[in-house]
Chain A
Amino acid sequence: MPTLAKTGNEAMAEAMRQINPDVVAAYPITPATEIVMIFSQFVADGLVDTEYVAVESEHSAMSACVGAAAAGCRVMTGTSSQGLQLMSEILPIASALRLPIVMCDVNRALSGPINIHCDHSDTMAVRDFGWLQIFSENAQEAYDNVLQMMRISENKEIQLPGMVTTDGFIISHCMERVETIDDAAAKQYVGAYQPLKSVLDLDNPITLGSLDLQDYYFEHKMPIVEAMQKAKNVILEVGRDFGQKFGREYGLVETYKLDDAEIAMVALGSTCGTARVIIDELRAQGVKVGLLKIRVFRPFPAEAIVAALKNVQAAAIMDRSDMYSDQGGQVFCEIRSALYDADKKPLLANYVYGLGGREICLEDIRRICADTQANAAAGKVKQLIQHYGVRE
């Protein structure tokens, strides 16, 4: 297992090289551009068998991905922010056609105002389109998640597209130590793709993308609902298998010092790394604090979250995006909903933070943990939703 120094973008491109997709169709966008630049070089140097379609927009990127995947190919792409939004018309078509396209998605704030830095508003905005969504904490996870997502998406019971996300610049451009897998082992792990349908099957011509009216549309949406339910187990199996083979096991969520915790922080992506430092610090001071990292956002691991938080008195839910609904961020709303029927549940407070790349530092986590401790001690939440770190 070669250990390399790689940025998140490099790590994702490396996973793509090892997967060796039949087709990649992509359009550059900061901060995801490097992924497709590096991959283009692999194509130019003959290191992959991929047909690279350098399209004129992200809309065409996803459209070409749908065409290529419908033609029975293993297909990948990469994008971010506005690019993801431009694709968004085609994203639910990809899932409805049950095409296991895998996307490297670098989280970046949505315009406007235009901004190139990290928040989760782009990925959250496409959360309801039938795509699997896995968030990465660092470059290592980005690499591991891309390899796993290929297996999850292509699973015969799932057959759904999936996006693996990193946090723009924080992970995408930060160089870290990444343990990679040998090419042969990666190839074996991902396996050969066996498409269930293809418009290139000339002996068995199929019509895909039919007009589907009141009589059938609803029935054709249900398999996506069911596949998302099944995906939870498949993600667990794939994560366990990955752990057995390569030593790094993955679940739907990850807990850190949470077993006996009285207070908890719940977060996605790179912020979890920052939180771990403060949790260690507070633990050394005798504070019973832990972290719940949500790795998989679609399907939403409600059961795992309820179980993980059942003994916690108060939790801070960290949202790196807002829904502008006056009800806090997406993560908060989903967790609050998941806890509604739970017998034992913590007090919750929502922190919408880091929009447009606003830094979240150790001191910020420290203060949020102190707030959470105060909520636990008071037995009530002082402020339900706050936009943390915004200047008055």
Chain B
Amino acid sequence: MVNLKELAVREDSLCGGHRACTGCGAPIIVRQVLLASKDPVVITSATGCLEVVTTIFPYTAWKVPFLHNAFENSAATCSGIEAAYQSLKRQGKIKADHINFVAFGGDGGTYDIGFQSLSGAMERGHDMLYVCYNNEAYMNTGVQRSSATPMGAATTTAPPGKLRAGKTQFSKNLTEIMVAHGLPYIAQSAVGFWRDLTSKAEKAFNIRGPKFINALQPCQLGWGYDPALTPEMGRLAAETCIWPLYEVENGVYKLNYRPKEKKPVTEFFKPQSRFRHLLRPGNEAVVATIQKEVDRRWEALLKNCEEKIA
């Protein structure tokens, strides 16, 4: 378990001065994940907010080796670096005993365009950690829907209108798809739970092989909330059981956070403009459909975690 005192004196791999928006959750995820590594790290990133805000030439916010290749290939690129390390190590051409290879991607670069690359790299079993900073839409290009976008959310390519109340599909459950890959470690975490995220990263770094963390990243621009509330948005997602915190280690599920009182989904919707239309009269049925699906997924998870279904 990570200790705040110890983490406070560790050096950040990503320094300040980058150009992320006020209240952006992505650098929070990067720092909380990388602080957990006791070994050197080498980073890849998909094209997206993280790469854009941290690497505008001639500046870089990265104090550690960093490679950006393209949008859909963070995992494949990272797998190439890891293969290079394995080859050089076997030939006695590199000194480092162990390096943590970390691939970052947003939900666009992970759930959608980079899905095949991710699946392939995980199946091949590279010793790497893939972290999805999931802000539930294509935020870098101006808030377009992704397969991670929740039902009912307003995006610029699935806007609410006279005929529709935002996105008409549920989000893809990528974490469960990664569980189906049979990886040694899969976890779901969120901004707002630093100990949970950093502990999960630490656990992942102590396991050899492919690991996956899906971290919910509130985005003030795309979600439309007061930028001061970024951690609060992550907490509300967990308290409403919309985004449960759990991990699967060698096939064994563990729930990491169970709210004392499960809040209705509308509590998550209220502070966010992307859901504002759902709270207007006439959209009660959509809200009920979302609540039903959240309940169904939550109960299925409780069952997998062998928790009591209250």
A residues apposed to B, CB below 8 Å: 22-23, 25, 49-51, 53-57, 59-60, 63-73, 75, 89-90, 93, 198-202, 205-213, 215-216
Contacts and interface: CB of A to CB of B under 8 A. Distances in A.
B69 A93 contact: yes
Interface of B: 40, 42, 44, 51-52, 55-58, 60, 62-70, 72-73, 76-88, 90-91, 94, 96, 99, 116-117, 119-121, 123-124
Contacts of A64: 76-77, 79-80, 83
Most-contacted residue by chain B among A57, A73, A215 (CB, 10 A): A73
A67 B76 contact: yes
B57 A90 contact: no
B63 A211 contact: no
Contacts of B81: 67-68, 70-71, 199-200
Contacts, number: 166
Chain A contact residues: over half helix, strand or loop, or mixed? loop
Nearest to B80: A67
Contact of A73 (B63, B67, B84, B96): B84
A95 to B, nearest CB: 13
B120 A60 contact: yes
Contact of B117 (A60, A71, A201): A60
A18 to B, nearest CB: 16
A72 B88 contact: yes
24 contacts: A22-B91, A23-B87, A51-B86, A59-B116, A60-B121, A63-B117, A64-B79, A66-B67, A66-B77, A67-B69, A67-B78, A68-B83, A71-B81, A71-B85, A93-B70, A198-B65, A200-B88, A202-B64, A202-B99, A205-B62, A205-B63, A207-B60, A209-B67, A210-B68
A54 B66 contact: no
A56 B119 contact: yes
Nearest to A212: B57
A59 B72 contact: yes
* Closest CB pairs A-B (n = 9): A67-B80, A64-B80, A56-B120, A209-B68, A71-B84, A63-B73, A60-B76, A63-B76, A51-B87
A202 B98 CA distance: 12
B91 A199 contact: no
A72 B83 CA distance: 11
Contacts of B68: 208-210
A60 B116 contact: yes
Contacts of B86: 51
A90 B65 contact: no
B245 to A, nearest CB: 30
Contacts of A211: 51-52, 55-57
Nearest to A57: B116
B280 to A, nearest CB: 39
Contacts of B70: 63, 89-90, 93
Nearest to A64: B80
Contacts of A23: 80, 83-84, 87
Contact of A67 (B84, B87, B94, B116): B84
B41 to A, nearest CB: 9
Given A65-B80, A93-B69, A208-B67, A22 B117 contact: no
Contacts of A205: 62-66
A200 B80 CA distance: 12
Contacts of B83: 23, 25, 51, 53, 64, 67-68
Contacts of A213: 56-57
A23 B99 CA distance: 18
A57 B72 CA distance: 12
Nearest to A199: B65
A57 B99 CA distance: 26
A329 B94 CA distance: 48
B80 A63 contact: yes
Given A60-B76, A198-B65, A205-B62, 11 more contacts: A25-B80, A56-B117, A59-B117, A63-B69, A63-B77, A68-B87, A73-B88, A207-B65, A208-B68, A210-B60, A211-B56
A203 B67 CA distance: 16
A207 B55 contact: yes
Given A57-B116, A200-B88, A210-B57, A71 B69 contact: no
B291 to A, nearest CB: 38
Most-contacted residue by chain A among B52, B64, B99 (CB, 10 A): B64
B84 A207 contact: no
Contacts of B55: 207, 209-211
Contacts of B51: 209, 211
A68 B86 CA distance: 10
Contacts of A60: 73, 76, 79, 116-117, 120-121
B60 A49 contact: no
B91 A49 contact: yes
B76 A22 contact: no
A72 B91 CA distance: 13
Contacts of A71: 42, 80-81, 84-85, 88
Nearest to A55: B120
B73 A90 contact: yes
Contact of B87 (A49, A57, A90): A49
Nearest to A67: B80
Contacts of A201: 65
A215 B83 CA distance: 35
Given A199-B67, A202-B65, A49 B80 contact: no
Contacts of A53: 79-80, 83, 124
Contacts of A215: 57
A50 B90 CA distance: 9
A215 B44 CA distance: 24
B94 A54 contact: no
B69 A209 contact: yes
A209 B73 CA distance: 13
B40 A202 contact: yes
B90 A59 contact: no
A53 B75 CA distance: 13
Most-contacted residue by chain A among B62, B66, B96 (CB, 10 A): B66
Contacts of B124: 53-55
Most-contacted residue by chain A among B40, B65, B80 (CB, 10 A): B80
Nearest to A94: B69
B209 to A, nearest CB: 15
B121 to A, nearest CB: 8
